[in-house]
């Protein structure tokens, strides 16, 4: 009888160990969620914070690109062009509401980054649009893109691909 109890206790302990291992694995997994980890790139006086994109459904031809740019310098700069291997071209877009309808249009002349200022590209506002996708960006991967600024020059950053539903789907492009 007592050996049965010992065996039962040993079994319970193993069970607990399995449980803590599972919790540990879960914590590890959460720590690895893309987007939970900030990543940053520098070009001259500019800091590019957390470039991210969204996974796209099969057949989608466009994907959005979002990040922040902080200008630590004393002169304004301007984001002029973007290129990436994932798409034929990349454009700078602006979303806004016109006559009660959400619209999107290309920004001409680049995007100014004021001296000492911060510009945020996010769903529902300024964003990059990777047009003519050559493949579908998958959640969890990263892809490189090159941003070219008037003064700071070119910098290659990595876009972290997050889940399709990130940030409320304000940026659905039906093209």
Residues that bind Cu ion (CB under 5 A): 93, 104, 129
CB of 91 to Cu ion, least distance (A): 7
Q: Are 162 and 53 in contact (CB under 8 A)?
A: yes
**Toward Cu ion, which CB reaches closer, 61 or 135?**
61
Quick one: 46 or 129, whose CB is closer to Cu ion?
129
CB of 93 to Cu ion, least distance (A): 3
Distance of alpha carbon 59 from alpha carbon 82, whole angstroms = 22
Contacts for 97 with CB less than 8 Å, ≥ 6 apart: 103
**Short-list 140, 135, 130, CA closest to 160:** 140
Nearer to Cu ion, 79 or 129 (CB): 129
Q: How far is the CB of 129 from Cu ion (least distance, A)?
A: 4
Nearer to Cu ion among residue 104 and residue 167 (C-beta): 104
Residue 111 Cβ vs Cu ion, minimum distance, rounded to whole Å:
13
By residue count, the chain amounts to 175
Cα–Cα distance measured from residue 116 to residue 76, given in angstroms and rounded to the nearest whole number: 8
For residues 57 and 121, give the distance between their C-alpha atoms in angstroms, rounded to a whole number.
22
């Amino acid at each position: 009888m007592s050996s049965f109890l010992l065996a039962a206790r040993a079994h319970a302990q193993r069970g607990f160990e399995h449980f803590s291992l599972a919790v540990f694995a879960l914590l590890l997994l959460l720590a690895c969620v893309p987007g939970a980890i900030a990543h940053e790139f520098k070009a001259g006086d500019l800091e590019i914070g957390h470039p991210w994109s969204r996974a796209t459904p099969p057949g989608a031809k466009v994907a959005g690109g979002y990040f922040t740019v902080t200008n630590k310098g004393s002169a304004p700069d301007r984001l002029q062009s973007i290129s990436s291997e994932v798409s034929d071209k990349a454009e700078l877009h602006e979303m806004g509401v016109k006559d009660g309808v959400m619209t999107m249009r290309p920004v001409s002349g680049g995007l100014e980054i004021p001296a000492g200022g911060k510009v945020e590209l996010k769903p529902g506002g300024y964003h990059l649009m990777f047009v003519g996708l050559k493949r579908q960006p998958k959640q969890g991967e990263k892809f490189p893109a090159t941003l070219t600024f008037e003064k700071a020059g070119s910098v290659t950053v990595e876009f972290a691909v997050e889940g399709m539903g990130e940030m409320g789907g304000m940026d659905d492009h039906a093209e």
